[in-house]
């Protein structure tokens, strides 16, 4: 079944990753490397694209762990251009290591304000038994050309589920259904080539994209555990860091022996408190002991809300670039 929306003109942007990876043996490389790009995908998907004009464009050819924020800002600019080039939607295919971060940055920066933007990838490479890249791409295309996709912000389609780019995260390093939006759940699903999107993610103000001439500040992501005194935090300013995110234990807690280092760091640079648990929110009004979230937040740390550490790090970086004079206020718009 071909869903409504036949005749759509979509832009497919590929960035590399498992979805385009093959054996690097011919190049003398052991293991998988990104090789296949947008042109090959469109040719291979032709049997499932009847009446759909998918324009291929190779954007990057990198493992997603090597993508930089500069790449994501350039990707947002390319999507903005696509909205003025007559495209009805954009599909982004990349590696899954940082797929959630790409979707989050694009959503915060309003990349889907003028046309649907859907991000996807694959967990099984092209040479594995039962590769999932083609199925995920077709599903993403079906979502991008659905009229219902226009009111949801940036979306992620994976294993026939549709997630809000703001909330999606990778929950498994190897499982084919690797993505979740816990604790909220997906917005919808793809069934028989139709996108069903009964739920709408809460919208937030669009954060202005920083000027292309703005340098990207260094923001650290620091975890903690039993007995960690977090002395590394005190070294961050001298190492050139402009901010940091602290992934606390449980609801956002640190050892009593780490309180001094955390508070000292918070006087030198913006320090965001998140939970290392992965599914939030970080608490802010329950535990009052030294090193508990009440103690830390009352003494200057920023509340990370429902953000994971990696997303909070990117958001803090963008805020430092775009809104340094009102950083706590602007940051707080995106933590729910």
- What CATH number does residue 169 fall under? 3.40.50.1170
Same domain membership, residue 154 and residue 243: no
Q: Output the pLDDT for position 2.
A: 47
- Please give the C-alpha separations between residue 308 and each of 64, 243, 330, 335, in angstroms, as whole numbers: 18, 16, 17, 9
Q: Which residues pair with 89 in a beta bridge?
A: 10
**Token pair belonging to 267:** 């006087």
Q: Which residues pair with 191 in a beta bridge?
A: 194
Task: Find out whether 282 and 254 touch, Cβ atoms under 8 Å.
Answer: no
The number of beta carbons lying within 10 Å of the beta carbon of residue 260 is 15
Low-confidence ranges of the chain (pLDDT < 70): 1-6
What tens digit of pLDDT does each residue of 45-95 get?
999 999 999 999 999 999 999 999 999 999 999 999 999 999 999 999 999
Task: Find out whether 2 and 47 touch, Cβ atoms under 8 Å.
Answer: no
Can you list the alpha helix ranges (DSSP code H) found in 158-217?
none
Catalytic residues: 18
Q: Output the pLDDT for position 176.
A: 92
- What H or E segment, with its residue span, contains residue 100? helix 99-108
The burial of 111, by beta-carbon neighbours within 10 Å (0-12 exposed, 13-18 middle, 19 or more buried), is given as buried
Residue in this structure with the two tokens 């004079």, named with its chain if needed: 325
Asked if residue 4 belongs to a domain, the reply is: no
Same domain membership, residue 43 and residue 174: yes
Asked if residue 183 belongs to a domain, the reply is: yes
- Please give the C-alpha separations between residue 83 and each of 53, 89, 98, 114, 275, in angstroms, as whole numbers: 15, 8, 24, 6, 37
Same domain membership, residue 253 and residue 174: no
- What CATH number does residue 223 fall under? 3.40.50.40
Task: Find out whether 72 and 96 touch, Cβ atoms under 8 Å.
Answer: no
Give the C-alpha separation, 307 to 284, whole Å.
14
Asked if residue 209 belongs to a domain, the reply is: no
Give the C-alpha separation, 148 to 2, whole Å.
16
Same domain membership, residue 184 and residue 282: no
Same domain membership, residue 116 and residue 46: yes
Asked if residue 16 belongs to a domain, the reply is: yes
SS3 label, residue 256: helix
Same domain membership, residue 254 and residue 183: no
- Please give the C-alpha separations between residue 88 and each of 47, 129, 142, 178, in angstroms, as whole numbers: 21, 33, 12, 28
Same domain membership, residue 114 and residue 183: yes
Residue in this structure with the two tokens 């499932």, named with its chain if needed: 48
Asked if residue 211 belongs to a domain, the reply is: no
Q: Output the pLDDT for position 6.
A: 57
Give the C-alpha separation, 323 to 333, whole Å.
12
Give the C-alpha separation, 18 to 96, whole Å.
7
Q: Output the pLDDT for position 280.
A: 80
Q: Output the pLDDT for position 26.
A: 81
CA–CA–CA angle 187, 1, 83 (5° rounding): 55
Give the C-alpha separation, 199 to 34, whole Å.
35
Helices and strands (H, E) in the chain, number of each type: 9, 16
- What H or E segment, with its residue span, contains residue 79? helix 69-83
DSSP string, 115-170: S-EEEE--SS-TTSSS--HHHHHHHHHHHHT-GGGGGS-SEEEETTEEEETTT-EE
Same domain membership, residue 175 and residue 139: yes
CA proximity to 76, closest of 100, 112, 101: 112
Strand-strand pairing, 188-191 and 179-180: unpaired
Which structural domain, as residue segments, surrounds residue 250? 219-334
Same domain membership, residue 189 and residue 241: no
């Amino acid at each position: 079944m071909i869903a409504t929306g036949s005749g759509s003109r979509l832009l497919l942007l590929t960035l590399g990753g498992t979805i385009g990876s093959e054996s690097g043996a011919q190049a003398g490389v052991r293991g998988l490397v990104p090789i296949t790009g947008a042109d090959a995908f469109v040719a291979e998907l032709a049997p499932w694209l009847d009446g759909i004009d998918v324009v291929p464009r190779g954007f990057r050819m990198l493992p997603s762990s090597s993508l930089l924020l500069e790449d994501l800002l350039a990707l947002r600019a390319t999507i903005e251009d696509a909205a003025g080039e007559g495209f009805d939607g954009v599909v982004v295919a990349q590696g899954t290591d940082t797929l959630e971060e790409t979707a989050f940055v694009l959503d915060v920066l309003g990349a889907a304000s003028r046309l649907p933007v859907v991000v996807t990838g694959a967990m099984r490479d092209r040479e594995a038994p039962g590769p999932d890249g083609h199925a995920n791409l077709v599903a993403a295309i079906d979502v991008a050309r659905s009229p219902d996709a226009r009111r949801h912000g940036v979306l992620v389609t994976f294993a026939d589920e549709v997630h809000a780019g703001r909330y999606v995260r990778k929950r498994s390093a190897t499982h084919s259904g690797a993505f979740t939006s816990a604790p909220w759940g997906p917005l919808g699903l793809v069934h028989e080539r139709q996108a069903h999107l009964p739920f709408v993610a809460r919208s937030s103000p669009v954060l202005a994209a920083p000027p292309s001439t703005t340098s990207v500040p260094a923001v650290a992501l620091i975890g903690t555990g039993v007995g960690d005194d977090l002395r590394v935090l005190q070294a961050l300013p001298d190492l050139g860091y402009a901010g940091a995110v602290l992934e606390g234990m449980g609801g956002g807690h640190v050892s009593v022996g780490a309180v001094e280092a955390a508070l000292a760091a918070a006087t030198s640079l913006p320090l965001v408190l998140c939970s290392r648990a992965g599914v939030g929110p970080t608490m802010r009004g329950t535990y009052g002991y030294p090193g508990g979230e009440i103690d830390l937040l009352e003494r200057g740390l920023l509340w990370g809300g429902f953000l994971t550490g990696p997303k909070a790090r990117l958001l803090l970086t963008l805020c430092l670039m775009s809104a340094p004079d009102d950083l706590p206020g602007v940051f707080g718009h995106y933590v729910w």
